[in-house]
Amino acid sequence: GLAVRQYSGVAAAAAGARVPLGLKKKGLRVVVTGGAGFVGSHLVDRLLARGDSVMVVDNLFTGRKENVLHHAGNPNFEMIRHDVVEPILLEVDQIYHLACPASPVHYKHNPVKTIKTNVVGTLNMLGLAKRVGARFLLTSTSEVYGDPLQHPQVETYWGNVNPIGVRSCYDEGKRTAETLTMDYHRGANLEVRIARIFNTYGPRMCIDDGRVVSNFVAQVEGLMKLMEGEHVGPFNLGNPGEFTMLELAKVVQDTIDPNARIEFRPNTADDPHKRKPDISRAKELLGWEPKIPLHKGLPLMVQDFRDRIFGDHKPHSV
């Protein structure tokens, strides 16, 4: 991985080109597992836009071809229908490992499959990264903090997770994925990055996602800064703006329908009571923070949902 990265810089410099540092390096071969999903497809857009060759590895469990269809015919884009639980041989410089259903409705659907995806899938992608010397980025989750006893959550907090609950396939799966990532880093000298993403919303989110919103897909920029930077992490990527569910319901009313009725219902099992990221580390070391407040982001997502429900299937970028 590193050799190729340096080579492209050197080659461009020799040709007299001005090569800005950071996100402008050209010609990387990047794998995005889960690249047909909500966050992954936005990431794929950005990587292709900056000139990388992108291979999406996705089994289309929760992802949709429509999310990446606009790249069909682009010679720098390839979609491989593949389940990360099975090994795969590819030649690449960077791996963004996102493959995993993210919404409770999806990850609870087949819990054993979810934990296999997190554990065996992550192991396979780490094995691939080791074989070809690629840099590996894991998209972990705020769920590793469980129902946190510390508020807000800093990356050094170890969390409060139920190991035997209905959410454990996801929470413990991601915790094991983080462990594997650090063990390959320490044991095989692999270059790794870990992001802990907090609930994200935006265009292309599954219409039946069912999660409450908190943070817009600007996350993707944070993932790229993390991949290109020199810090392993973990980094919290989320919006520290805190609101109650009732406050959120009112914003939704204002955005969609002032007459929508608010109903109170019992919560699902093990749902964290309160969560808010401390993002000092991401601000300081990645120069990243979320930019879109809820009242601005929500209308964009609502428009995307309306377009998809009422017929206009063009993908939206942010």
Q: Which residues are catalytic?
A: 170
* Binding residue for ligand NAD, selected from 99, 134, 180, 294, defined by CB under 6 A: 99
Backbone φ, ψ for residue 34 (5° rounding) = 75, 20
x/- contact string, 31-70, with ligand NAD (CB under 6 A)? --xx-xxxxx-----------------xxxxxx-------
Nearer to ligand UDP, 127 or 240 (CB): 127
Could you tell which of ligand UDP, ligand NAD, none binds residue 14, using a CB distance below 5 to 8 A set by kind?
none
Interacting positions 179-198 with ligand NAD (CB under 6 A): 197
**80 near ligand UDP (CB under 6 A):** no
Quote the least distance from Cβ 71 to ligand NAD, whole Å.
14
**224 near ligand NAD (CB under 6 A):** no
Quote the least distance from Cβ 15 to ligand NAD, whole Å.
37
Quote the least distance from Cβ 289 to ligand NAD, whole Å.
17
In the block, residue with structure tokens 């994925």: 177
Applying CB under 6 A, the span of 84-92, 159-167, 260-268, 276-284 interacting with ligand UDP comes to 84-92
* Binding residue for ligand NAD, selected from 54, 68, 84, 227, defined by CB under 6 A: 84
Dist CA 101 CA 107 (whole Å): 5
Nearer to ligand NAD, 60 or 256 (CB): 60
* Binding residue for ligand NAD, selected from 25, 48, 101, 180, defined by CB under 6 A: 101
Could you tell which of ligand UDP, ligand NAD, none binds residue 127, using a CB distance below 5 to 8 A set by kind?
ligand UDP
**116 near ligand UDP (CB under 6 A):** no
Could you tell which of ligand UDP, ligand NAD, none binds residue 130, using a CB distance below 5 to 8 A set by kind?
ligand UDP
**127 near ligand UDP (CB under 6 A):** yes
**169 near ligand NAD (CB under 6 A):** no
Sign of the CA dihedral running 152, 244, 282, 182 = positive
**104 near ligand NAD (CB under 6 A):** no
Applying CB under 6 A, the span of 19-27, 35-43, 119-127, 214-222 interacting with ligand UDP comes to 119-127
Question: Can you spell out the DSSP letters for the chain?
Answer: -HHHHHHHHHHHHHTT----SSTT----EEEEETTTSHHHHHHHHHHHHTT-EEEEEE--SS--GGGTGGGTT-TTEEEEE--TTS------SEEEE--S--SHHHHTTSHHHHHHIIIIIHHHHHHHHHHHT-EEEEEEEGGGGBS-SSSSB-TT---B--TTSTTHHHHHHHHHHHHHHHHHHHHH---EEEEEE---B-TT--TT--PPP--BTTHHHHHHHHHHSS----EEES------HHHHHHHHHHHH-TTPPP---PPPTT--S---B--HHHHHHH-------HHHHHHHHHHHHHHHHTT-------
